[in-house]
Structure formats: C-alpha cells, structure tokens
C-alpha cells in the first residue's frame, strides 16, 4: 500500500511522484509478463516457401508447437493458453479441438491460417475468432459445435462442407452483411446454419488472387493480405491509411481515385516490401479531393506484373465554411459585405447566399461567383436578427446578422 501525504517541500513531492511512476511501471511490466505467459502466439522464425509451419516449434513464442489433434488445455505447462495466429501459418493436415469442459478459450486469428485438411471444434472446445483483416482458408470440411465469430473484414473460406452443431455453437458475422464467408460445399446442422447460409457468398466475388489460390488448391502463398484500408477527411484533404499483414512477391500499390465510383485514375504509387510476413503500415494524403464523395481503392501490383484491386472506400469531403467572414455586424440594414474562401467557389457546386428573417421569410438571395460579395438591400432591413445562409450543393452554414 502507498500512502500519499501532502508535503510542503516541492522537492519531496517531486521525489514521491517519481517513486510512484516507478512502482506503476513495475506493476504494468509484471502484468504484461503474466498475460504473455497465458498465450500461445506465433512468431516468425522458420520460413518455408513463403510461410510458417504450424508444427515448427520455433514459430511459437515458447518454442513449443501447439498439437494438431485433440487440442485442449493440458498440452503445455499449466495449460491455460489462448492461441493467437499473428503470422502467415499453414497446417499440412487437419486440426481438431477437443472438449475442455467450457468454451472460455479462443483461437484468435489476426493474420492468415491455411489448413490443408479438416478443421473440427468439439462442444465446449476452443472458440474461433477472426479479427478484422484476418483470413482462414480450410481445404477440407469444417465442423463446429462451438462459437465462430468473424469480426468486420475477417474472411473464412471453406473449400468443402460446413457443419454447425451443438448447443454452444454460435455463428456471428460482425460485418453485418454478406461476404465474409465462402463455402464451396454445403452448410448443414442446426444452430446458426441459417445465419451462415445467409452470409455465404461465392468465391467469384473475392479478389482474383484469392480465387486463384483456392482454385489452385493453395499451391502458392497468398501474395498480399490487407488488414484495413480507411480514409479520413482533413477539411480540404483526405488522408488514406492501410496495413498489410503479409506480402509475397509484391512490388507496389497504385492509389486510385474516382468522383463517381466508376471511372478511376491513378493519383499516386507506394512502394511495397517485396517478401515479408511482418505488418507494414502505409499512408497517403490526397491534397486535391473534390467536395462531396470521393472514392478510393488500392491496386496491388506484383513483381511479375499481376495485380489485385481491393475494396473501394468512400470519403465525404464537406466544404469548409469556417473562413467565411461577414461585416459589418451589427449592421444598419442597408449593405452587407462577405468574404468567401476561394476553395469553396472552385467546386462542382454552385454557391448561393440567402438572407432571411427568423420566420423564414427570404429577404434576398443570389449566386456567389467571387470571393468578395457586396450586397445592397433594395429596402433597408428592419431592426432584428436575420440569418445569412451560404449554401454549396447539399452543404450549408448559417450566420446571425444583427440589425439595429
């Protein structure tokens, strides 16, 4: 226990604060170490043909590989491990998870797991969770009597049949729509088979590299695994950011933009990292977007010239009205001056000004074509409060004008 007392001497208070920081740091470090020992996490040590093998001891943080059958909670010193797949891992054979009495443990996939065989989860065994951007491909049958969760962007492909059974089974796709599940065979059983069937999509809807990989029986590693791709409006610019979980034979990205979502143009390129199973973050700022909706997508180009276009995102850029100035205010009701930022005028929208009273009656309205506007009212405005509204397309901003 640490007792904090109020002291008058500044040097004593400073010393106490520093001591507290050290104690908190030790607590955080100790807690982190405790959490680390409770997980089986993959790491990059031994690479074979562009990927890492499940059965290689060095590919796990404690240098002990997870078994491939009857996986439970007693396989390693104390047996309280969660399993996290953080690299491109392959299993040349089947994986099965046995009943451990509860479903409190998870196998969490953050990167890519390819299973060349069947994958089976018994009742009260490990739950399966695919995080955003994660990929699980099973070249065989998939059977789950326990929880299966796909986060936004997680992709589960089963080149075989899917069977969902058991009272503890729960299939959840947090994406909220079709597209995160592909089953080339049948979906059967009870539980959430209806939800899985509704979420099931065709392999042809996936990127070409995914189709080629599955149709070819997984003979070559996936060229690139994209974790996320997002854009943020920075007033008059758009910042794009994305992350890859792994790259194989990869040369560069093309950043493409469209104003209608149909016709795209290349606005920049970003060099890739060739061959890597480490995470890599990328970013690009578009300093010349259009007002309204801007569409962006990535085209990944390999060294051999083959390419893959990823999902399109939309970023809305609203006009910046913050630099609009209006004077004099208060006003005598005869004349009004406005300064409009030029970037607001150089858009696809017409810009208008409307002056109205608080009852909504329009006093005057006109189109703005220059950065400086001088308006003389046909009849002097009566004393009161008026609203001056600047509108560009569907965007608008109103300002209070006081007439006395």
Strand bridging mode 238-258 / 265-276: antiparallel
User: How high is the pLDDT of residue 20?
Assistant: 37
Residues 247 and 296 in one domain: yes
Residues 55 and 180 in one domain: yes
Do the domain assignments include residue 20? no
- According to DSSP H, which parts of 229-377 are helical? 342-345
Pick from 317, 336, 367: which residue ends a domain? 317
Range(s) of the domain holding residue 97: 38-215
At residue 122's C-alpha, the angle toward residues 117 and 125, to 5°, is 110
Residues 112 and 186 in one domain: yes
Whole-number Å distance between alpha carbons of 305 and 296: 21
User: How high is the pLDDT of residue 7?
Assistant: 35
Chunked in runs of 10, what are the mean pLDDT values of the chain (404 residues)?
Answer: 37 43 34 44 59 85 87 56 85 92 86 93 90 89 90 86 78 73 90 82 81 85 79 90 84 94 94 82 94 91 82 87 92 93 77 93 91 90 95 90 94
From the list 69, 57, 188, the residue with the least C-alpha distance to 118 is: 69
Handedness of CA 76, 77, 80, 85 (dihedral sign): negative
Do the domain assignments include residue 164? yes
Q: What DSSP letter does each residue of 267-287 carry, written as one string?
A: EEEEEEEEEE-S-EEEEEEES
Whole-number Å distance between alpha carbons of 258 and 250: 24
pTM equals 0.57
For 52, list phi and psi in degrees, rounded to 5. -115, 135
User: How high is the pLDDT of residue 45?
Assistant: 54
Residues 193 and 234 in one domain: no
Whose structure tokens read 């390819």? 114
User: How high is the pLDDT of residue 17?
Assistant: 41
For 233, list phi and psi in degrees, rounded to 5. -80, 125
Residue 22 parent element (H or E): helix 10-36
Do the domain assignments include residue 350? yes
User: How high is the pLDDT of residue 386?
Assistant: 96
User: How high is the pLDDT of residue 339?
Assistant: 92
Residues 61 and 102 in one domain: yes
Residues 276 and 160 in one domain: no
Whole-number Å distance between alpha carbons of 129 and 159: 19
Do the domain assignments include residue 349? yes
Q: Find the CATH number of the domain harbouring 263.
A: 2.60.40.2060
Residues 393 and 333 in one domain: yes
User: How high is the pLDDT of residue 263?
Assistant: 93
Whole-number Å distance between alpha carbons of 87 and 132: 14
Residues near 394 by beta carbon (within 8 Å), at least 6 away in sequence: none
Whole-number Å distance between alpha carbons of 364 and 342: 22
Whole-number Å distance between alpha carbons of 328 and 258: 42
From the list 290, 152, 287, the residue with the least C-alpha distance to 228 is: 152
Whole-number Å distance between alpha carbons of 162 and 141: 6
Q: How far is CA 293 from each of CA 156, 257, 285, 394, rounded to the nearest angstrom?
A: 31, 11, 16, 12
- Token pair, residue 301, equals 């180009």
Do the domain assignments include residue 302? yes
Are the CB atoms for 294 and 255 separated by under 8 Å? no
Residues 367 and 297 in one domain: no
CB neighbours (10 Å) of residue 7? 11
Strand partners, 53: 90
Residues 114 and 186 in one domain: yes
Residues near 304 by beta carbon (within 8 Å), at least 6 away in sequence: 249
Residues 163 and 84 in one domain: yes
Q: Find the CATH number of the domain harbouring 383.
A: 2.60.40.3080
Pick from 286, 317, 348: which residue ends a domain? 317
Residues 206 and 74 in one domain: yes
Do the domain assignments include residue 241? yes
Pick from 215, 236, 261: which residue ends a domain? 215
3-state secondary structure of 197: helix
For 14, list phi and psi in degrees, rounded to 5. -65, -45
Residues near 375 by beta carbon (within 8 Å), at least 6 away in sequence: 335, 336, 337, 338, 353, 355, 364, 366
Do the domain assignments include residue 53? yes
Do the domain assignments include residue 312? yes
Largest CA distance in the chain: 89
Are the CB atoms for 368 and 381 separated by under 8 Å? no
Q: In 67-87, which positions are buried (b, 16+ CB within 10 angstroms) versus exposed (e)?
A: bbeebbbeeeeeeebbbbbbb
Residues 257 and 355 in one domain: no
User: How high is the pLDDT of residue 160?
Assistant: 95
Count the domains in the chain.
3
């Amino acid at each position: 226990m640490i007792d904090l007392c109020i002291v008058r001497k500044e040097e004593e208070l400073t010393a106490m604060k520093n001591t507290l920081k050290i104690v908190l740091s030790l607590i955080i470090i100790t807690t982190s170490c405790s959490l680390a020992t409770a997980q089986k996490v993959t790491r990059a040590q031994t690479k074979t043909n562009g990927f890492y093998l499940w059965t290689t001891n060095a590919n796990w943080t404690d240098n002990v590989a997870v078994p491939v059958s009857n996986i439970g909670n007693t396989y390693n010193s104390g047996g309280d491990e969660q399993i996290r797949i953080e690299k491109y891992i392959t299993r040349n054979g089947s994986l099965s998870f046995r009943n451990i009495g509860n479903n409190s443990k998870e196998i969490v996939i953050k990167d890519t797991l390819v299973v060349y065989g069947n994958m089976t989860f018994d009742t009260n065994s490990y739950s399966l969770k695919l995080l955003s951007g994660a990929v699980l491909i099973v070249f065989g049958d998939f059977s789950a009597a326990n929880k299966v969760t796909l986060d936004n962007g997680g992709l589960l492909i089963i080149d075989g049949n899917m069977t969902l059974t058991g009272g503890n089974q729960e299939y959840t796709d947090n994406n909220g729509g079709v597209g995160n599940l592909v089953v080339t065979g049948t979906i059967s059983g009870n539980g959430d088979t209806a939800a899985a069937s509704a979420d099931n999509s065709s392999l042809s809807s996936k990127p070409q590299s995914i189709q080629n990989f599955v149709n070819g029986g997984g003979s070559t590693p996936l060229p690139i695994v994209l974790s996320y791709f997002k854009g943020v409006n920075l007033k008059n610019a758009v910042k794009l950011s994305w992350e890859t979980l792994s790259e194989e034979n990869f040369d560069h990205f093309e950043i493409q933009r469209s104003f209608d979502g149909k016709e795209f143009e290349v606005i920049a390129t970003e060099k890739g990292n060739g061959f890597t199973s480490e995470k890599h973050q990328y970013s690009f700022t578009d300093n010349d977007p259009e007002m309204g909706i801007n569409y962006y997508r990535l085209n990944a180009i390999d060294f051999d010239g083959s390419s893959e276009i990823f999902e399109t995102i939309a970023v809305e850029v609203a006009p910046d009205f913050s630099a609009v100035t209006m004077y004099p205010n208060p006003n005598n009701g005869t004349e009004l001056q406005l300064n409009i930022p030029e970037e607001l005028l150089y858009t696809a929208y017409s810009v208008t000004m409307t002056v109205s009273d608080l009852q909504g009656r329009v006093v005057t309205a006109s189109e703005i074509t220059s950065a400086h506007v001088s308006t003389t009212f046909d009849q002097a405005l009566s004393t009161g409060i008026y609203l001056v509204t600047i509108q560009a397309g569907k965007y608008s901003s109103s300002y209070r004008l006081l007439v006395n």
